[in-house]
Amino acid sequence: MSLPLDLSSLGNVFLIGTTLFGAFVVALWASFVFWTYRDSRARTQDRLLRVLAALLALILGPLGVVVYLVLRPPKTLDQTYQTTLEEEALLSEIEARSACPGCGNRTAPDWQLCPNCHTRLRRPCSRCGKLMELPWKICPHCATPAPGTRVEPGAVENGKLAG
């Protein structure tokens, strides 16, 4: 027993399949444009470049996305910002470390002498014993004038050196 082949029903199936495939292609094409715009928004603040990237994906489709992937900035704005923060943190850490004026080697903030060249880096306060930088005329911890500094009576008032 053979089934009769109805060409009109076969044509309807083909029409429905073609319609579904076309809808899929349109949705895929639109997703290319949407993804390209969203990705470019995360990578640049320039509005014109974002629109051009989306137009590239709209006009060329998958080929436009490939071209965009080749030309896009390698890092997102957030990644660039994080990298900048890390670099600034490293630079501030490097700048915070002091160097010996005599030999240039790194020194610690609690050293009185450079262990390499024996250059005097800091001196202890005569009253509290905490370290003071050499040019300081008064101890910032206890407000005691440094030895050898001429201070007239009444010059230290309210924790400030008058002068």
Tens digit of each residue's pLDDT (9 = 90 or more) over 60-100:
999 999 999 999 999 999 999 999 999 998 888 777 677 88
Confidence of residue 163 (pLDDT cuts 50, 70, 90): very low
Ordered by start, the domain boundaries in the chain are 14-77, 107-150
Q: Is the Cβ–Cβ distance between 86 and 102 less than 8 Å?
A: no
Tens digit of each residue's pLDDT (9 = 90 or more) over 117-139:
999 989 999 899 899 988 889 99
Q: Is the Cβ–Cβ distance between 147 and 124 less than 8 Å?
A: no
> How much is the pTM?
0.54
Q: Which own/partner pairs from 33-40 qualify as long-range (CB within 8 Å, at least 24 positions apart)? A: 33/57, 33/58, 35/65, 36/64, 36/65, 36/68, 39/68, 39/72, 40/68, 40/72
Tens digit of each residue's pLDDT (9 = 90 or more) over 24-62:
999 999 999 999 999 999 999 999 999 999 999 999 999
